[in-house]
Amino acid sequence: MPPDVMALDFVGLKKEFPGVRALDGVSFAVRGGSVHALMGENGAGKSTLLKILSGAYQPTSGAVRLGGAERVFASTAEAIEAGVAVIYQELHLVPDMTVAENLLIGRYPQRGGFLNRAALRAEAARLLALVGEDISPDTRLGRLSLAQRQMVEIAKALGRGARVVAFDEPTSSLSAKETDRLFAIIRDLKSRGHAILYVTHRMDEVYEICDAATVLRDGRHVVTHDSLAAVTRDALVKSMVGRELTNVYNYRPRPHAPEGLEVRGIAGPGLRKPVSFQVARGEILGFFGLVGAGRSELMRLICGAVDPEAGEVLVQGEKLPGNSPRAAIRAGLVFCPEDRKKEGIVAIRSVAENINLSARRSHLVGAGLFLDLAWEKRNAAEQISRLGVRTASPSTLIGLLSGGNQQKAILARWLSERVRVIVLDEPTRGIDIGAKSEIYALIHDLAASGVSVVVVSSELPEILGISDRVFVMREGLIAAEFTREAATPEAVLHAALPSGSIT
Amino acid sequence: MSSPTSLAASSIQSSRFTRLWDSAGMLLVLAALFLTCSLFVDNFLSVANLRGLALSVSTIGMISCTMMFCLAAGDFDLSVGSVVAFAGVLGATVMNTTGSVALGVAAALAAGSMIGLLNGVFVARLGVNALITTLASMQIVRGLGFIASDGRAVGIRTAGFFDFGNTAWLGVPLPVWLTIACFVIFGVLLNLTIFGRNALAIGGNKEAAHLAGVPVVRIKILIFTLQGLVAAFAGLVLSARMTSGQPNTSLGLELEVISACVLGGVSLSGGVARIGAVVAGVLIMGLVQNAMNLLNIPPFYQYVARGLILLGAVMLDRFKSRR
């Protein structure tokens, strides 16, 4: 390959989902024999880019070039065939099969129609040697450590002739020693001319292993540094964050009153230490952090979805009577989960059913035996018009609505209740900007009416835009606390990045 | 080639048809079948035959009410056939020993409810797969029936009990009235109570229902308990008709009940159920069997026919949901 031809080129990549533009004309190039960092906040478009590279998504427009030749991958199989490997955080291996079987899955050596075990083992041993891993090919994969499995995944990619290898936060669950091993292998791959794309949040790693870096923000390409030597960490962070906060957030100061939500020493899975905090009535408290920082786990503990190991939750001065969503809802503490499809909506039921699902228990007739069908109809209609849920009719299946309208219907479910505290986990994920600002306005109205609001988001501007106070979680702890005035994007992001990543 | 206007007209027509089909599809099929049989099958429309037809679907009809709930909530219950047999045997034995109809009925109903409750606890509280749980209880309860009766039919000596199975009101046998009562009660439960809506929400998305404050475990246990209770009740009625409790009756009944529910458009993955369609499903099953009997089709072929009807109904349903 002539030296001026890049191993991997992204040319004007665009990817649109209904209502969302995940990538908006991203172009940059990765040199063979180099490690190229891909950086950006959650939602900046890194995952979408990796998925296009792996063939899982097809770009709306634009192209991927390998060694100068334009390639469109219609499937992951085609990308693998072309020599591209993407190593995700969640590895694509089968725990119940042996290491050798995993390494050569889909292309087992055969003899006369039967599996050739000897050839399988020999080839597997050769691939393991490539990554310097001393494991028997006959070990069941499930018995390996996470770091070892990652090596198997890399060996598998090399076995398929990968020339371009992309890593998605590969060190997130590795120890320091394991990380060193991984870096040694990455350097080895680099010296053999592979092009490596490396997605990470950790600044230390960027400077340790990467030669170049590209920053994405809101699906757009911000900057590509061909050499990191002259770039300071602060400059990199700034380019990840730096953007004007517009007034889509509609922030207005509101009066606060004491005794809203109080969390006392709550402990449970995903938290490294017990957590305590208070939210006043009329206050909006934002929780920021990277994916996996323990924010959703904390919210699930507070709202009774997961049983806490210790601690208690008080709503307007009264302790919750039990550990269940039901008890929380009855006390006026309601929860909009992060995964709307899996945990929010009942897709095969109507919009009206989904709205009335919870509040109907307080509107029964006939000695509490029967549903008040008149109330149900009225409430659904009222909520739909109040929140501007765009649906053909209340009896339309909710699964047919857009993400934004599904979210509004879930909010309508809770606004049908007597809400004192509302916990919103990623309330605007996958929602177009129009619906987003409507949801922000709604959050403000709720707070203005005296409700205590807790919002979890991975989108920094969103958290800064709507919150009165900001908590930052990192690795299962509340790492920092900011007032609205003190919460600058740089400070909050610094606090959220894993320890040792920024000095 | 058709002009644009006629195209539009036909699309309006077709949407009207699809709406009718969606809401009453199986009722239409039932009506068509009924008409066909009336015209082409001798003796079908006689009072005696129709009474026999209604009587023949009474056991399946009662149990399909609770099976509908079970499926709506996303579960299965394979133990109902065994419960029917066991309840008959137990009721007969207790009646013979104590001479009291009330005690026999109470014992059978209590046993049925207890079996259902245990099924529910295993499925909902302990998280064992419903298919496995009820496959196990199906065999255990069938065995208990054989043990309690020593493998033989238990003749009932309390003649007052036979009234259950053999009296009639307005020319309609009591078991048929009881079946109608079940349809009404469970139809009301499904459509007009929080219990019914919660069952459907659980079947549609268990996790979402839980987070929305629906007491998932409690409702599932209640559904299984009702299922056991109703199956035991149906078993008592059946034993009254046969004047004995028979340990080997109703083999494979659970599959007929589930078939009837599926014919009635109940989704096996939960979340969708309509009582009217289930009634239609039950009647279609009974009607086809009845017509085949009248036409002297040997029973071996009837199995084949029933399987084909079930497949056909499911294909119709797929066609419906793919549109």
| Chain A residue whose CA is closest to B201 | A346
Q: CA–CA separation, B150 vs A297, rounded Å? A: 56
| Residue B20 forms part of a structural domain | no
Q: How far is CA B96 from CA B79, B111, B152, B240, in A?
A: 26, 17, 15, 13
Q: What is the CATH number of the domain that holds B305?
A: 1.10.3470
Q: Whole domain around residue B268: which residue ranges?
A: 25-322
Domain count, chain B: 1
Buried b (16+ CB within 10 A) or exposed e, A72-103: ebeebeebbebbbbbbbeebebeeeebbbbbb
- Joined together, the tokens standing for residue A116 give 């050739």
Closest residue by Cα to residue B31 from B262, B274, B276:
B276
Structure-block tokens of residue A324: 């269940």
In angstroms, what separates the C-alpha of A286 from chain B's closest C-alpha?
22
Torsion angle in degrees (nearest 10) through CA of B146, B151, B152, B153: 20
Interface predicted TM-score (ipTM): 0.84
For residue A329, list chain B residues with Cβ-Cβ distance below 8 A.
Answer: 212-213
Taking CB atoms within 8 Å and a gap of at least 24, the contacts of B29-37 are: B29/B280, B29/B284, B30/B280, B30/B283, B30/B284, B30/B287, B33/B284, B33/B287, B33/B288, B34/B287, B37/B287, B37/B290, B37/B291
Helix (H, G, I), strand (E, B) or coil at A451: coil
Boundaries of every domain in chain A: 8-241, 248-332+418-503, 344-417
- The residue type of A265 is G
Give the residue from A396, A401, A423, A399 showing the smallest Cα distance to A411. Answer: A423
Give B-chain residues touching A363 at CB under 8 angstroms.
Answer: none
> Are the beta carbons of A325 and B213 separated by less than 8 Å?
yes
The tens digit of pLDDT for each residue in A169-228 reads 888 777 778 888 899 999 999 999 999 999 987 778 889 999 999 999 888 999 999 988
Catalogue the E-assigned strands of A372-501.
421-425, 452-456, 469-474, 477-483
Q: Report whether A48 contacts A219 (CB < 8 A).
A: yes
pLDDT at residue A450 greater than cutoff 80: yes
Percent of chain B past pLDDT 90, that is, above it, reads: 67
Paired with A13 in beta bridges are A26
**The two structure tokens encoding residue A19:** 């209502």
What is the 8-class DSSP label of residue A57?
S
Please state the three-class secondary structure of A307-333 as a single string: CCCEEEEEECCEECCCCCHHHHHHCCE
In a domain, B1, yes or no: no
Which pLDDT does position A34 carry in this prediction? 93
The answer to whether residue B11 is domain-embedded is no
pLDDT of residue A448: 93
Lowest-confidence region among A82-96, A356-370, B10-24: B10-24
- The answer to whether A110 and A139 have CB atoms below 8 angstroms apart is no
pLDDT per residue over A122-161, tens digit each? Answer: 999 999 988 888 889 999 998 888 888 888 999 999 888 8
- Residue A415, Cα to own-chain centre: how many angstroms? 27
- Identify the three-state secondary structure at position A198: strand
Question: What is the average pLDDT value for chain A, to the nearest integer?
Answer: 88
Asked whether residue B145 is domain-assigned, the answer is: yes
The third-level CATH classification (topology) of the domain covering A248-332+418-503 is Rossmann fold (3.40.50)
| Stretch among A36-40, A177-181, B119-123, B145-149 having the lowest mean pLDDT | A177-181
Task: Please check whether residue B248 lies inside any domain of the structure.
Answer: yes
> Would the CB atoms of B212 and A337 count as touching at under 8 Å?
no
In three-state secondary structure terms, A15 is: strand
pLDDT of residue A250: 76
Give start and end residues of each alpha helix (H) in A348-397: 351-356, 373-387
- Over the stretch A275-333, which tens digit does the pLDDT of each residue have? 999 999 999 999 998 877 899 999 999 999 999 999 999 999 999 988 899 999 999 99
Integer CA distances (angstroms), A371 to A111, A123, A361, A365, B192, in order: 68, 67, 8, 6, 5
pLDDT at A503: 38
**Residue A350 φ/ψ, nearest 5 degrees:** -75, 165
The candidate with the shortest Cα–Cα distance to A37, out of A220, A208, A243, A234, is A208
CB A409 within 8 A of CB A217: no
Mean pLDDT of A410-430: 92
> Looking at domain A8-241, which of 3.40.50.1820, 1.10.600.10, 2.130.10.10, 3.40.50.300 is its CATH number?
3.40.50.300
Q: Is B117 a residue whose pLDDT tops 50? A: yes
Q: Which amino acid is at A175?
A: S
Tokens of B38: 């009336």
Using a CB–CB cut-off of 8 Å, the residues of B that contact A are 192-194, 197, 200-201, 204-205, 207-215, 267, 271-272
Measured CA to CA, the distance from residue B208 to residue B81 in angstroms comes to 33
Does A367 touch chain B if contact means CB atoms closer than 8 Å? no
Q: What pLDDT is attached to residue A291?
A: 77
CA distance linking residue A115 with residue A436, whole number of Å: 55
- B2 in a domain, yes or no? no
- Minimum Cα–Cα distance from A398: chain B residue: B204
